[in-house]
Structure 1
Amino acid sequence: MNDPLFENITKIHGDLCEISRYLYEHPELGDREYKSMKQLTDLLVSHDFTIETGTAGRPTAFKAVFNGEKPGPVIAYLAEYDALPEVGHGCGHNLIGTMSVGAGIILSKQVAEIGGSVVVLGTPAEETNGAKVPMSEQGIFNEIDVAMMVHPGDQSYESGDSLAMDAIQFAYFGKSSHAAASPEKGINALDSVIQLFNGINALREHLPDDVRIHGIIAEGGSAANVVPDKAVAQFYIRAKERAVLNDVVTKVMNIANAAAMMTGARLESSNYELSYDNMITNKQLSNVFSKHLQDISGVPVLPAKQSYGSIDMGNVSHVVPAIHPYIGLDEPGLVAHTKEFADKTITAKGQQVIADGALALARTGYEVITDSVLLKAIQTEFHK
C-alpha cells in the first residue's frame, strides 16, 4: 500500500531522534529554550517552512508555516521543548517537540496535492508560564482550523480534560519590632499568612470535589525575635470549569482580605504565573486521532484519565478545536516529572514513539483537510 506519509516519516525519523536526544542532553528551562528552538526551526527551514520567532512576545516561541498552492484547512501542531529544573525532560517535551515538527514536515509534503496549510507553533514554558496563553489571547489561532499535540505517557490515552488554574500570590506587609521587648509596636505579616491558610482550610469543606487548592509560604520572616514585616504565600487554585474557579477565587480573595484586617497588615495580591483554562477536548477530532494511533502502534488507546493537573493547551481549546492525547511509552505506572521518565524518552521505545506520534498527527491532519464532512462536524461540536 502506497502511504506517502509513512514514507516521509521514515526519511526524517533519524533527524527527529537526533534532535530529541540533543534536547535531552541540553535541557533548557522555560523561556530560555534558545538552543532547543534552533534545533527545531533549523529542521523546519530545511523543509521550506517560513519561520517567525518571538511569537506573542516570547523570545523562544516560533511560528513555522507551509502553504499549499490550493486553499484549504489550516492544521496546527504545537511543539513544547522546555525542561524541568534538575530533572531535565522528565515530562517528555523533547518527544513532544519532535513529534509535532515531524508531523508538520511530513504533512507539508502532501498539501501541494490536497491543498491547505500546515503551521507548527513553538510554545515555550508549558511547565511555568505557558506561551499558549498569550498566543490564544493575541489571535495566533484566528486562521487555524484545528490544533493538535500529543504528550508521552506511561500508556496511550484519549484526549481528556484538565483543570482551570489561577496562580495567585498574597504578599502581606506589616511592621517590624522586637518580638519580646516591644511586640505591641509590631504588625505581624506572618500572622496574616497563617490566617489565610486557616481560612482556606475551613473553606475546603464547602467546595466541589474537583477543586484543588495548594500553596506554600514563600517568605515568612528572617528571625524568630523580630516581628515579620513581610510574609508571602503562593497558591495554585484549580477547578474543572473556569466559571467555578472564578467563584472559588472570589471566596479565597475574601479570606485573604479578612486575614489582613485581622492583623492590621496590608495585602498586595497578584498572579505570579499565567492563568490556564480547562481543556475542552474536541471529541470528533480526538476519535480520528485515536483511530490512527491505534492502527499505527497496534496498542489500544485507553479512555482518558481524570486529570487534576492544568495545561496551557486548555486556553487553546477555548478558541479553536483542539486535542491533547497521550502516546504510551509502554511502561504502566511510569511517573512523569522524574529522571526515569526522562531517560525513557531516549530508549528505542522513545524513538518509536516519535515515529508513531508524528505519523498519527499527520494522518489526522490529512483526514481533516480531505474530508469536508469531518471538518464540518469538528466545527459544529466546537461551536456548541
Structure 2
Amino acid sequence: MKQKITDTIESLSDSFFEISQYIGQNPELGNEEEKACKALTDKLSNHGFTVKTGIVNQPTAFEAVYDSGKPGANVGFMCEYDALPELGHACGHNLIGTQGIAAAIGLANVIHETGGKVYVYGTPAEETKGAKVTMADEGCFDHLDVALMAHPSSNYVKSGASLAMDAIAFSFYGKSAHAAAAPEQGINALDAVIQTFNSINALRQHVTPDVRIHGVIPEGGQAANIVPDYAVAHFYVRSTSRLTTDAITEKVSLCAKGAALATGAQLEVSNYEYSYDEMITNIPLSDTFTEQLLELGIEPDEIYDHEGGTGSLDMGNVSHRCPAIHPYIQISNQPISAHTHEFREAALSKDGFDGMIIGAKALAMTGYEIAANPSLRKKVAVAFQSRHQ
C-alpha cells in the first residue's frame, strides 16, 4: 500500500510542481489567498474530494473530505498558503499547501483498503491571524485522529515544541498641545508608551528564561513641536506554556496601566493578532513520521532532534484539540533562515520541490499507518490524553 501511495504522488509530481510554482509566483497575503485556495481546492475536487470553502467565515479557508465509505480513522492534513509582505513565499507556504494536498491525494488512493476518511484543511493567514486558531476554537479538528503537516527547512528536524504567544496592543490617548508654547496643557501619549517599555524592561529581571517580550512603536506622534495625543505600542509575549503566557501578559498589561496612571493618558488594551498556544507534539505520532522518512531513504544522522522552539505556531492550537505533529523537511543543502530572500528562492527551486515531495510521501505514509493500525491509533490517543490531563 505504501508503494501505491508513493507511486500516486510521483505520477502527479508534474502537476504538483505547477501548483507550487503558481502559488509561489503569485504571492498573496493572509486572508487574500484566492488564487492559492482555488488552485488547491480544484486539484482536490478533481481527485474525488468534497470541498467546502469559506468555512469559519473566512473566504479563503476550506475543508476537503475523501470518504472511503467504511468506518475507520479520520486523518487530517494542514495546508498553509499565505505569503509575507514584500518577501513573498519566504516561509515556503507554496510548498506547504501543495504538500498537504499531495499527501492527502496519495492517502486517498488507498483509504478504501483501510476504511476511514481523509481530511484536508486550508488554513489562511498563518503569518498573522492564523485561521487554525479560529478553526480550533470552533471544533473543526475535534473529530480527527491525527493532524499532520511539515514545514520546509534546511534540515530534517523532528516535531517539537513552540511557544505560546499573545499579541497585545496598548493604545494611549492623551491631549495635544504646542510642545514649546504650552506644554503644560498637553498629555503626552508617547511618554506613556516609553514608560511602558521602561517598565517592561524592568520586568525582564523577574521572568523565567523561556519568556520572550518584544515590542515596537507603530505610532508615536507626527511632529516634534506637538505633544502627541495618540501613541501605540505592539508587543509579543511568549513562553513555553499558555498558563505562563497568560500570567506574563497580565504583568505586561499592568506596566501599561501604570504608565497611563503616571502620565494621565487613557489606555485601551487589545489583541492585534490571535493568541497562539504552545505546540504539543504527539511522540508516538512523531516517531511514526520519522520511521517513514527512514523508509524513504533518509539516513538517521540526517534527522535532527528538535532543540526547543522560540517561535510560535497556530498549529499549537490544533495540537490541543487532537494529536498533531509539525516536523521540518529539508529543501536546501545550504543553511537558510525563514523570512529571507534566500528561503523564498529555495522554496521556488527544483531541490525545494523535491524535498517537499519527500515530505508529502512521509506524511501520507504516516496517515496510512494510522488508518491501517488500530493499536498505533490507540497509542497515539493515549499519549494525547495523558498530555491533557
TM over 0.5: yes
Q: Which residue of 1 aligns with 2:197?
A: 197
Q: Deviations over 1:152-202 (max 9, x none)?
A: 101000000000000000000011111111111111111100100000000
Structure 2 gaps, min length 5: none
Equivalent residue runs for 1:22-171 within 5 Å: 22-171=22-171
Per-residue deviation, 1:335: 1.1
Deviates more, 1:258-267 or 1:335-344: 335-344
After superposition, the CA RMSD in angstroms is 1.1
TM superposition score normalised by structure 2: 0.97
Q: Distance in 1 between matches of 2:182 and 2:138?
A: 53
Q: Which residue of 2 aligns with 1:326?
A: 328
Which residue type is aligned with residue 247 of structure 2?
D
Q: Distance in 2 between matches of 1:25 and 1:340?
A: 15
After superposition, the Cα gap between the structure-2 partners of 1:179 and 1:352, relative to the gap in structure 1 and judged at 3 Å, is same
**Do 2:2 and 2:368's aligned partners in 1 also have CA atoms closer than 8 Å?**
no
Per-residue deviation, 1:307: 1.3
**Do 1:16 and 1:354's aligned partners in 2 also have CA atoms closer than 8 Å?**
no
Indicate whether 1:342 and 2:344 are aligned: yes
TM superposition score normalised by structure 1: 0.98
Q: Which residue of 2 aligns with 1:5?
A: 5
Which residue type is aligned with residue 356 of structure 2?
I
Q: Distance in 2 between matches of 1:54 and 1:166?
A: 26
Indicate whether 1:381 and 2:383 are aligned: yes
**Do 2:188 and 2:227's aligned partners in 1 also have CA atoms closer than 8 Å?**
yes
Q: Which residue of 2 aligns with 1:175?
A: 175
**Do 1:148 and 1:323's aligned partners in 2 also have CA atoms closer than 8 Å?**
yes
Q: Percent identity?
A: 51
Q: Which residue of 1 aligns with 2:254?
A: 254
Per-residue deviation, 1:344: 1.1
Per-residue deviation, 1:251: 0.7
Equivalent residue runs for 1:350-369 within 5 Å: 350-369=352-371
Per-residue deviation, 1:340: 1.1
Per-residue deviation, 1:297: 4.3
Q: Which residue of 2 aligns with 1:293?
A: 293
Q: Which residue of 1 aligns with 2:264?
A: 264
Equivalent residue runs for 1:236-251 within 5 Å: 236-251=236-251
Per-residue deviation, 1:330: 3.7
Structure 1 gaps, min length 5: none
SS of corresponding position for 2:237 = strand
Query: How many pairs are equivalent?
Result: 384
Q: Which residue of 2 aligns with 1:372?
A: 374
Equivalent residue runs for 1:214-225 within 5 Å: 214-225=214-225
Q: Distance in 1 between matches of 2:100 and 2:2?
A: 23
Q: Distance in 1 between matches of 2:252 and 2:297?
A: 46
Q: Distance in 2 between matches of 1:359 and 1:135?
A: 26
Per-residue deviation, 1:2: 7.7
SS of corresponding position for 1:274 = coil
**Do 2:77 and 2:119's aligned partners in 1 also have CA atoms closer than 8 Å?**
yes
Deviates more, 1:292-301 or 1:160-169: 292-301
Which residue type is aligned with residue 309 of structure 1?
G
Q: Distance in 1 between matches of 2:311 and 2:297?
A: 27
Per-residue deviation, 1:274: 0.5
- The runs of at least 4 consecutive aligned structure 1 residues that moved more than 4 Å come to none
After superposition, the Cα gap between the structure-2 partners of 1:140 and 1:2, relative to the gap in structure 1 and judged at 3 Å, is closer
Choose which of 303, 307, 332 in structure 2 pairs with 1:305: 307
Q: Deviations over 1:288-308 (max 9, x none)?
A: 001112321424211013210
Q: Distance in 2 between matches of 1:334 and 1:84?
A: 16
SS of corresponding position for 1:52 = strand
**Do 2:167 and 2:271's aligned partners in 1 also have CA atoms closer than 8 Å?**
yes
Per-residue deviation, 1:10: 1.3
Q: Distance in 2 between matches of 1:267 and 1:372?
A: 54
Q: Deviations over 1:259-308 (max 9, x none)?
A: 00001000001000000000000000000001112321424211013210
SS of corresponding position for 1:337 = coil
Q: Deviations over 1:340-372 (max 9, x none)?
A: 111112322112112211110010000001111
Q: Distance in 1 between matches of 2:250 and 2:240?
A: 16
**Do 2:329 and 2:355's aligned partners in 1 also have CA atoms closer than 8 Å?**
yes
Q: Distance in 2 between matches of 1:183 and 1:103?
A: 64
Which residue type is aligned with residue 265 of structure 2?
A
**Do 2:103 and 2:363's aligned partners in 1 also have CA atoms closer than 8 Å?**
yes
Q: Deviations over 1:194-244 (max 9, x none)?
A: 100000000001111011011001111111111111110000110011111
Q: Distance in 1 between matches of 2:349 and 2:224?
A: 51
Per-residue deviation, 1:333: 2.0
